[in-house]
Structure 1
């Protein structure tokens, strides 16, 4: 049995003293049968659970393609379609946007994005989607801009630079001349960009930057394999990440929260967290190194990967942060490296810090919080607690009191774990989940009424190695840390987790790692896609496969559902994922019920 109930008695006792924790109103999500899909997580709470039930366990066998659109941009496709008043808005790779009739797929308009020619992309051309509000469509771009379009015409209303000037990046030139990684092909870069879909709240567009974790991404020679080595070189690279709010009318910045504090970045030199995780650290050596690296926070990292969840009752937003910089290599960054690899709560109106919980202090593995957090009413020991949950790369689903940040519980592992927090070594340390996860950026779906969360995850063993190479005799050797996939088998795991017990209710193993996200509905269904093009519906209670469709391209994006003229549709982007070796494409797929004759 896991340590799921660690601290739970103390947490509940503390919560009982808070009036706001008691007798919370039930979420309206299960009952409010939204016909649209108006935001990235469906609702501000980001539960991605739809109350639509026309497509259900009894009717799903009749699900057939309704329409599909080939967009003409074949590349990694991760976007969540947004549907408002019968119109679907979806961002394509390289930040083009199209508006479609959600019933027929007819194109209404297209926006073509012109990127800055000299701006390196951090992580490929994909982005996670748009936000639609107040008659406008908002999108963050791979070249670190925030663009507002007119929702009726697609014409650009305003376009602002979010990150300012580009910063120095690390290159293969940093490596020794005889290092084999010096001449290998690099996938992506270390440029600042925006991957997350924005969210709009009270006339503010909220979005954050990525690409500040600073590691070289070396391509894998196998086309069907995930990303090759990721390298972190000791040095003064990068900048802090941030989350910021911008006015919907003209794009001026309202507030900015830097994910790296100017003071106190080193934290408490934690070796054990409240959830029971322990870390091997030479605290004395780290403290001694503080005098050599007093300005580490300037290069701190902490990308903002995930679209925030918002509690409208308390005007609080919750988001996850990325790894510290340099990635995996800790020589130049002693301390806990706050607020990296953390769940962070901010005031929506001011951006003021409320609390944070660091899952992995002084991260050496790339266990950043990539999957978006989700808000729900947590039924525990006869009490209803306002909670925030997050599916981690390390392989647990965490639950916190969302008012205080107090750790309440974590689930049983939903992926295999080995040497979870072991340090990299010269001979290579095999670790899993490792840098790929666990739960990568894939959003979860949460059924609050059933107290279940559904997680798409990855098993892919990773070898972590420390290298020291001599540049020339007498010089200090160059040190870097690298992670790369092993030759071991890898697969995906689709899990239903009981929130009350923390146990796995059921689990379905897939032939490839799962990345893209899930959709649960009141029809008792769970939808999820795979890298080989399989798109399937499962019984959400048992995990039994009930229906499937095979696409030409990988289905590695989050599915949605919506209703037009009384008919329920399921939609998903099918464009694969280059980092995982899944076939890339350009297709938007939709399905609806076709009565059997």
Structure 2
């Protein structure tokens, strides 16, 4: 792996001088932020601060200067996916490589200062780190697979007094056989006083670890408190599950990240859905605290209040984004609030201390499931005071008209679907439209909010479909095929074709990967795929044999042992797979926009603006622009009047928009897609904007990963200061 930072030359001085001389209105709030030499401004927490607002007070890069941004440095981070939003403390930037090595870079040059390699296979998403300091003590917390390390920020070496030799095993402390747990710190924990508070990512099918929020002592690694998101007997919410479900139920985990109100001592934790995602016959009831925003006392882990966004979820509608703390005006008074975005395209807004909704939320009736054994909730919560930021119901007039052939194919497919809006139960033998899709509207990048109460949200606006099929263990397949259908088909499809790039095709996987390489992925996970530690090695070998034979009905294995190993973990119906609704050319089969950037005024619930986000270069070449595209990674907002975001998959751009209007002011080329949330910071009086990039989501584009930093060239800064000094 190349580990070199590269300084990139700025633009010619003469061109910059001309650009600044002809610009009009060069100030923000009457003052250009030319910080004293040596001043630094940190980005010391995931989301900017523990409030998760992704807001920066820096104004050196502003609506008038942003047009002169140039690449300042670039750091090669390896091959693979990269979703990290780094930390910057002082002049040091802390981040991950693509294989979860922890790295420290000089924030002004990109020079590698140190790296830490846990020496374990690690291809899980790692979106950030956690920094703590008190007095002369400093610690950098980094998740590597199932371990949480405490590192010395100066050297990258583990602090051996923490946990077991410098780390704690997040598989433990959950009240079950920890060796069968898959628990990954996809999003980093947050620090409150002398504790680090963490959630985790786990499997989305059984077996999955039971969800929990835990606080550990930052010095010793000892468990300080735990909140079980699947309540135990005697705990509030236990009645919303079958009496014994807590013993075998899984997930309802906090994977997207959290926010903390430091003044009130409240941690806000958004949870995912319970397994199995799409068929819940074994978990009758509303299933608290899955799909919920839970407010916990950060000192004790006790529940203060909660809101469940989906009752008895069978659509994989987990809360996908960290919440953001914001202050809004309500009935003439300032109210400290917490905003939570959702895959449905909703924003829920609550008073922080009490959980009181600041806009009405109605429990509306929805159809019951007709699948045997399934018991859907008769109602679901719908916010009515804040406008949705994604389309809610796919109808025939919304299908693509990109070409006559694409339109005809979309119309033919649509006639076979059930499409009636949100919360329509999946059917057996027929696909149901989920719109916005399983990866939309909001995603894990999170929103940004400014002090005026405006929230900025990027959204995916693409339709997906899903369905159920009956599981019949007596029919058709070898043990490997049966296990594949039971464990793998939900993501990769019964036909092994997947839904690329999110869910890769496994057709002909034997020609691309050896048996050992497939086994390594099953043991360690990769990208969106978790590991499967609870599946015995013999069973994994059967799946590998099935995959490498390209689905052939090869004999082998004891079918009775496989199908009767644990009947309770084999549901009567299984998901048919994630299916994106695409036209024959691979583009979304609905009319654009396919991705948007939205500004909503949380004081009123109304749109400030809404624009398409992203393009497809191949369609631009055909004259079709501003379609929007799927996007992953969120925005930041600055006091300089800017919303800055990468996120788009195919056009490989970082963009800066005017926060007041949504007008595009600047865009810079990236080597790979910026599928991460950017950060901004100041070192030696110069403001930088940095984003992680990688080619993992677009296999047809260039492959690799890099951190890319942008700044104003020194010539531009000097000329602007000169112009400012000449003004009265």
| Pairwise same-fold verdict (TM > 0.5) | yes
Residues 264-283 of structure 1 correspond to what in structure 2 (within 5 A)?
none
- Per-residue deviation, 1:584: 5.0
Alignment partners' CA distance in 2, 1:588 and 1:557: 10
What does residue 446 of structure 1 align with?
449
In 2, are the aligned partners of 1:296 and 1:332 still within 8 Å (CA)?
Answer: no
SS in 2 for 1:99: strand
- Per-residue deviation, 1:583: 6.0
1:387 aligns with 2:333: no
Distance 1:194 1:315, change over 3 A: same
1:113 aligns with 2:231: no
- Per-residue deviation, 1:552: 2.1
More strand by share: 1
Larger Rg: 2
Alignment partners' CA distance in 2, 1:159 and 1:139: 9
Alignment partners' CA distance in 1, 2:102 and 2:391: 39
- Per-residue deviation, 1:268: 7.5
- Per-residue deviation, 1:435: 1.9
Say which of 513, 518, 532 aligns to 2:630: 513
1:558 aligns with 2:677: yes
CA-to-partner distance for each residue in 1:72-104, whole Å, 9 max, x for gaps? Answer: x22221111101011101123332111111011
Distance 1:150 1:205, change over 3 A: same
What is the TM-score normalised by the length of structure 1? 0.78
Residues 62-211 of structure 1 correspond to what in structure 2 (within 5 A)?
62-71=68-77, 73-115=78-120, 125-134=124-133, 135-142=138-145, 144-157=146-159, 158-164=166-172, 165-166=177-178, 191-211=182-202
Distance 1:45 1:544, change over 3 A: same
What does residue 227 of structure 2 align with?
257
- Per-residue deviation, 1:531: 1.2
What does residue 188 of structure 1 align with?
none
SS in 1 for 2:282: coil
Say which of 401, 419, 422 aligns to 2:351: 401
In 1, are the aligned partners of 2:170 and 2:183 still within 8 Å (CA)?
Answer: no
CA-to-partner distance for each residue in 1:86-141, whole Å, 9 max, x for gaps? Answer: 110112333211111101111110111222x6xxx8xx521111111222110122
Say which of 524, 544, 553 aligns to 2:663: 544
- Per-residue deviation, 1:477: 8.9
More helix by share: 2
What does residue 341 of structure 1 align with?
291
Alignment partners' CA distance in 2, 1:259 and 1:579: 35
Alignment partners' CA distance in 2, 1:251 and 1:114: 21
Residues 421-500 of structure 1 correspond to what in structure 2 (within 5 A)?
421-426=423-428, 427-448=430-451, 450-472=452-474, 478-482=572-576, 483-487=578-582, 488-489=589-590, 491-500=594-603
Alignment partners' CA distance in 2, 1:267 and 1:362: 14
SS in 2 for 1:93: coil
Alignment partners' CA distance in 2, 1:34 and 1:110: 23
- Per-residue deviation, 1:573: 0.6
- Per-residue deviation, 1:470: 2.6
What does residue 624 of structure 2 align with?
none
Alignment partners' CA distance in 2, 1:415 and 1:387: 22
Alignment partners' CA distance in 2, 1:268 and 1:504: 40
CA-to-partner distance for each residue in 1:198-224, whole Å, 9 max, x for gaps? Answer: 21121111111211432xxxxxxxxxx
What does residue 282 of structure 1 align with?
none
Moved more, 332-341 or 302-311: 302-311
What does residue 535 of structure 1 align with?
654
CA-to-partner distance for each residue in 1:251-310, whole Å, 9 max, x for gaps? Answer: 1111111111113687787xxxxxxxxxxxxxxxxx9xx5xx732563132121132211
Distance 1:63 1:425, change over 3 A: same
SS in 2 for 1:456: strand
SS in 1 for 2:67: helix
In 2, are the aligned partners of 1:560 and 1:572 still within 8 Å (CA)?
Answer: yes
In 2, are the aligned partners of 1:266 and 1:335 still within 8 Å (CA)?
Answer: no
What does residue 295 of structure 1 align with?
245
Residues 364-379 of structure 1 correspond to what in structure 2 (within 5 A)?
364-379=314-329
**What runs of 5+ residues in structure 1 fail to find an aligned partner?**
1-29, 170-190, 215-235, 270-286
1:51 aligns with 2:154: no
Alignment partners' CA distance in 2, 1:161 and 1:477: 30
Alignment partners' CA distance in 2, 1:41 and 1:580: 28
What does residue 307 of structure 1 align with?
257
In 2, are the aligned partners of 1:136 and 1:148 still within 8 Å (CA)?
Answer: yes
CA-to-partner distance for each residue in 1:348-390, whole Å, 9 max, x for gaps? Answer: 1111111110000101111111211111222112011121111
- Per-residue deviation, 1:167: 5.8
Moved more, 345-354 or 133-142: 133-142
Alignment partners' CA distance in 2, 1:86 and 1:534: 26
Alignment partners' CA distance in 2, 1:102 and 1:192: 31
SS in 2 for 1:332: helix
Alignment partners' CA distance in 1, 2:637 and 2:270: 22
Say which of 684, 687, 709 aligns to 1:590: 709
What is the TM-score normalised by the length of structure 2? 0.65
- Per-residue deviation, 1:558: 0.6
**What runs of 5+ residues in structure 2 fail to find an aligned partner?**
1-32, 160-165, 360-382, 394-420, 477-562, 564-569, 583-588, 614-627, 720-728
- Per-residue deviation, 1:347: 1.0
- Per-residue deviation, 1:581: 8.2
Count of aligned pairs: 495
State the Cα RMSD in Å: 2.6
- Per-residue deviation, 1:192: 2.8
In 1, are the aligned partners of 2:649 and 2:697 still within 8 Å (CA)?
Answer: no
In 2, are the aligned partners of 1:304 and 1:321 still within 8 Å (CA)?
Answer: yes
SS in 2 for 1:588: strand
In 2, are the aligned partners of 1:212 and 1:303 still within 8 Å (CA)?
Answer: no
Alignment partners' CA distance in 2, 1:414 and 1:202: 36
